[in-house]
A and B are shown apart, each in its own frame.
Chain A
Amino acid sequence: MNEFQIKKSDLEYDAIIVGSGAGGGMAAYVLAHAGQKVLMLEAGAHFDPRTDAQQLKWPWESPRRGASTTRPFGDFDAAYGGWELEGEPYTQKNGSEFAWFRSRMLGGRTNHWGRISLRMGPDDFQPKDGLTDSWPITYDELKPFYDKVDRLIGVYGTAEGIESEPDGIFLPPPKPRLHELFIKKGAKKAGVTVIPGRGSVLTEALPGNNQRGACFFCGQCGRSCKVYADFSSSSCLVNPAIETGNLTVITNAMVREVLTDKSGLATGVSYVNTKDLQEYQVNGKMVILGASAGESARLLLNSRSPAHPDGIANSSGVVGKYLHDSTGASLSGFLPQLMDRKRYNEDGVGSVHIYSPWWLDNKKLDFPRGYHIEYGGGLHMPGYGIGSNIQNINGLVPGKDGKMKEAGGYGASLKDDYRRFFGTNVGMAGRGTAIARESNYCEIDPTVVDKFGIPVLRFNYKWDPDEVKQAKHMQETFKEIMHGMGAIITSELPGADTSYGLEAPGKIIHETGTVRMGNDPKKSALNKWCQAHDCKNLFVVDAGPFVQQGDKNATWTILALAMRTAEFILSQKKKTNLS
């Protein structure tokens, strides 16, 4: 294999899909079920939760006891990938600290995500404050697809009638755990709304679906589910699409660029096999990118040709711009009332049992838009780090004898402290709207390539004072809820010097907006169907098309948009507008 050779195939697929996550999976599902011959390319390894999930393993089955040394969310977590990948760098500009999470596995990030499944609301699509551009579609246009996603995949929740938090077609939500009842009490005192969570976990069998099991409440969705009781793209979309006989999946296939003909239409893609480094070219009547907001932008910018000198779909120069991740900040503590609590199984589901949708009116605040709050705590499976820094807490509360004790220690009394504190932890995290700004972007680094020779992304991202103010507001709210529920705060209260604990952009893994939709081809890359203005047989189905993300986690909107785009493709095929 000394000679450099590109293997070309004569086969022409109806569509080539790049990426197998929520967007790619949904596009494949819809097209394959409609009889289209589809090829899916995934940069990472094959993964099937049924055989590969680390579900129901005990902590001692990991030599590092579940620590996050090689996997960002712990040894049992499903994610192959992370913020840093060997041989696949990215760079920063102007002191940016953008953290780019990449999954390298079938199903992408849907294997480990929190399953929090929220719809964006009418104002998220058509903002009334004039601060950001409107989407080229309204909530009402997307609503039928959210409904279909709910029915196809399943989501639990409750109808609340909150306009900005539209209701879906819900399975029953899991009941709150003990610490969540305390949170509800504390939040009420602080004037914060708390409602049942909304998650894509089958708390009951999904009507009409015999392929997926019902949840058995191990609380381990992050490990992915062997009975497919939660949503991951492989179990719910890709595998069923393969079963139609119309979808071919190639894993370990890292796509280099979208190939085009003289007229500028897409003809296929080139990719490198990440295992043996052989080069391939495959042909398709259309190309659909679902590689993630960052990777799809990178691919478009790397696909230069005489017809597309600045990268395909980029005559507007907008590709890579308007990058935005959710804001995030958190606080943790413990509930002294829960010391020595009764033990029972409260694993529940692996998504949220309760959450706080945004509850305030911005007119009275010094920052735009808002955030929702996710809560944690309880009697979790012990893992690496259990009982850490007990010297910071066991001097704060009286011992069993009612007397205060010296912090730290050792021996039988310390051993008993670990037991006493088990299950008393409580934590809260805000996830907020960051404004899509032209000045926050990713671009191709002019000098750096990855180990496959593909030019890498360079990030330029700065939080705005508005986002810092939002984080400050989160911390003040968390503090009030903690006090309201009688909790003792154990994490340091972050101040202005650390932007109130505002996480670095990219850390929340909700990055969106790099290939934005719009009606004006001069200001957007895609039209309202997520079809490239400059190339009618090229589509993007991940979070790249988002014009502006709300404070809602992106997945449910990615799924609804991808389904809508795939159905549009089928309708165009019927009209022969697409060859």
Chain B
Amino acid sequence: MNRRESLKAIGLTAIGTGILLEACKPGKEVKEAVVNKESAAQPGRQDFEVERDKALKEAKFFNEHEMTTIAILADIIIPKDEKSGSATDAKVPDFIEFIVKDMPKHQTPMRGGLKWLDIQSYNRFQQPFSKASSAQQLSLIDEIAYPQKAKPNMAQGVAFFNLMRDLTASGFFTSEIGVKDIGYAGNQPNKWEGVPKDVLKQYGMEDMV
């Protein structure tokens, strides 16, 4: 079976490469895949995985106040810019709600960290973090966002913000918006012919191939 027949076999009929590649870009095809998402038996998933995912999605961990704060933090970490939308545009808070249920090790650091942030905010501004002004919020974040210059008494906040930053990055750059933003160009049928010529030239690697 040659490559063209291969693609036919997985339903990516090779009418033309353009259409073929188009079909695999972010945003296409996905709808089809989502159709029987909740049905009991999913191809290539074990029963316990399907049941576990269902249970996790039905459970709720963060309360409304916590979710509000997570959304504010996520957009501070990854705001909208000229290239793409913000963390909340990419539904990062929903991802964080899921992932702490999937990985319980994150629950206490997240819940406790949010509380730590509220207490710091309350002591300074007599408001929980989400109610503080944007300038007030950033002044507090500045104290925990730079591990090497943060004061020792802010170390717990630094640890929390490192985790929040990591979860936000994971949630954003694995979303449709984020994958497009970061420019990942794969996950589609192609023929790998080696490093493009202009790239070889850019790095002085022409003699290496």
Q: Which residues of B contact A212 (CB under 8 A)?
A: 1
- With A66-B174, A422-B182 known as contacts, the answer to whether A346 contacts B192 (CB < 8 A) is yes
The interface bits of chain B over 39-73 (1 if a CB of A lies within 8 angstroms of the residue's CB, else 0) are: 00001101011001100110000000000000000
A391 and B162 contact, Cβ closer than 8 Å, known pairs A217-B190, A217-B191, A347-B192: yes
Smallest CB gap from B169: residue in A: A387
Nearest first, the 8 closest Cβ-Cβ pairs linking A and B are: A213-B6, A175-B194, A52-B44, A387-B169, A343-B183, A59-B174, A216-B189, A347-B186
List, in ascending order, chain A residues with CB within 8 A of B198's CB. Answer: 342
Instruction: Identify which of residues 72-97 in chain A touch chain B, using a CB-to-CB cut-off of 8 Å.
Output: 78, 80, 86
> Which A residue's beta carbon lies closest to that of B158?
A408
B185 touches A343 (CB 8 A): yes
Q: How far is the CB of B13 from chain A (nearest CB, A)?
A: 13
Partner of B98, one of A63, A382, A395: A63
Instruction: Give B166-209 as 1s and 0s: 1 = Cβ < 8 Å from A's Cβ atoms.
Output: 10011101111011011111111111111110111011010011
A432 is an interface residue with CB less than 8 A from chain B: no
CB proximity to A under 8 Å, residues B69-107: 76-79, 81, 95, 98-99, 102-103
Q: In the assembled complex, which residues on chain B have CB atoms less than 8 Å from the CB atom of A63? A: 53, 56-57, 95, 98, 102
Residue from the set B79, B182, B189 with the largest chain A CB neighbour count within 10 Å = B182
Are B76's CB and A410's CB within 8 A? yes
Q: Does B10 contact A (CB under 8 A)?
A: yes
Knowing A337-B203, A345-B190, the reply to whether A58 touches B26 (Cβ < 8 A) is yes
Q: Chain B nearest CB: distance from A408 CB in Å?
A: 5
B154: Cβ under 8 A from any A Cβ: no
Residues of A contacting B43 in the complex (Cβ-Cβ under 8 angstroms) = 51-52
Question: What residues on A are CB-neighbors of B147 within 8 Å?
Answer: 391, 407-408
Chain A residues positioned under 8 Å from B176 (CB to CB): 58, 60
Whether B148 sits at the interface, judged by CB under 8 Å, is yes
Interface membership of B33, Cβ < 8 A: yes
Q: State the Cβ distance, A416 to closest chain B Cβ, in Å.
A: 8
List 19 A–B pairs whose Cβ atoms lie within 8 Å, in order of A's numbering: A57-B33, A58-B176, A60-B174, A63-B53, A64-B98, A69-B103, A212-B1, A213-B3, A216-B191, A217-B192, A219-B186, A341-B199, A343-B183, A344-B196, A382-B182, A387-B169, A408-B145, A409-B145, A412-B79
A416 to B173, CA, bound (A): 12
In the complex the two chains form, what is the Cα distance from A229 to B178 in whole Å? Answer: 30
User: Are B179 and A410 in touch, CB under 8 angstroms?
Assistant: no
Provide the main secondary structure of the chain A interface. Answer: loop
A406 and B173 CA atoms in complex are apart in Å by: 22
A58 touches B179 (CB 8 A): yes
- Asked if B183 contacts A422 (CB within 8 A), the reply is yes
B165 proximal to A (CB < 8 A): yes
Partner of B173, one of A182, A337, A386: A386
Measured as residues with beta carbon below 8 angstroms from the partner, the interface class of chain A is: 35 or more
Cβ proximity bits B154-166 to A, threshold 8 Å, 1 near / 0 not: 0000000110011
Contacting pair B169 A386 (CB below 8 A): yes
The answer to the question of B35 belonging to the interface, with a C-beta cut-off of 8 Å to chain A, is no
Is there contact, CB below 8 Å, between B185 and A344?
yes
Q: With A and B bound together, what is the CA distance between A407 and B161 in angstroms?
A: 13
The answer to the question of A441 belonging to the interface, with a C-beta cut-off of 8 Å to chain B, is no
A414 at interface by CB-CB < 8 Å? yes
Question: Which residues on the B side are within 8 Å of A419 (C-beta)?
Answer: 181-183
A384 touching B174, Cβ below 8 Å: yes
A280 at interface (Cβ–Cβ under 8 A)? Answer: no
A86–B193 CA distance with the chains assembled, in angstroms: 44
B9 proximity list for chain A (CB < 8 A): 50, 213, 226-227
User: Does B108 sit at the interface, judged by CB under 8 A?
Assistant: no
Knowing that A61-B34, A215-B3, A408-B145 are A-B contacts, what are 15 other residue pairs whose CB atoms are under 8 Å apart, sorted by A's residue number?
A58-B179, A60-B176, A178-B199, A181-B200, A213-B2, A216-B191, A217-B191, A341-B199, A342-B202, A345-B190, A348-B192, A383-B174, A388-B169, A390-B166, A410-B165
Q: Is the CB of B174 within 8 A of A65?
A: yes
Are A181 and B208 in contact, with the CB atoms below 8 A?
yes
Q: CB-CB < 8 A to B98: which residues of A?
A: 63-64
* B42 vs chain A, min Cβ distance (A): 9
B-facing residues in A214-244 (Cβ within 8 Å):
214-220, 226-227, 229
**Are A407 and B148 neighbours in the complex by a CB distance under 8 Å?**
yes
Residue among A175, A214, A384 making CB contact with B195, cutoff 8 Å: A175
Chain A CB within 8 A of B122 CB:
no
Chain A residues, CB < 8 A from B196: 342, 344
Residue of A47, A205, A218, A348 near B1 (CB, 8 A) is A205
Q: Which chain B residue lies CB-closest to A51?
A: B43
Flag whether A491 is at the interface (Cβ < 8 A).
no
A64–B43 alpha-carbon span in the complex (Å): 18
Give the residues in chain B near A53, CB-CB below 8 Å: 44
Bound complex: CA A410 to CA B166 (Å)? 11
Residue from the list A45, A213, A218, A411 in contact with B77, Cβ < 8 A: A411
Residues in B neighbouring A56, C-beta threshold 8 A: 10, 24, 187-188
Inter-subunit contact B173/A175 (CB<8 Å): no
Q: Are A60 and B186 in contact (CB under 8 A)?
A: no
Decide yes or no whether A151 CB sits under 8 A from chain B: no
* A54 touches B (CB below 8 Å): yes
Q: Indicate if the CB atoms of B173 and A387 lie closer than 8 Å.
A: yes
Chain B residue at minimum C-beta to C-beta distance from A338: B203
A63-B55 Cα distance, complex, nearest whole Å = 12
Contact residue among A45, A337, A381 (Cβ-Cβ distance under 8 Å from B187): A381
Q: Using known A-B contacts A347-B192, A384-B170, determine if residue A406 contacts B149 with beta carbons closer than 8 Å.
A: yes
Give bound CA distance, A116 to B195, whole Å: 22
Cα distance A62–B16 in the bound complex, in angstroms: 29
A576 within 8 A of B: no
Chain B neighbourhood of A384, CB < 8 A: 99, 170, 174
Task: Check: B19 CB closer than 8 A to any chain A CB.
Answer: no
Which residues from A are CB-within-8-Å of B174?
Answer: 59-60, 65-66, 382-384, 386
- Given A47-B44, A52-B44, A388-B166, the answer on whether A409 and B146 have CB atoms closer than 8 Å is yes
Q: In the complex, what's the smallest C-beta–C-beta distance from A204 to chain B, in angstroms?
A: 8
A382 to B185, CA, bound (A): 11
Q: Which residues of A contact B149 (CB under 8 A)?
A: 406
A431 beta carbon closer than 8 Å to chain B:
no
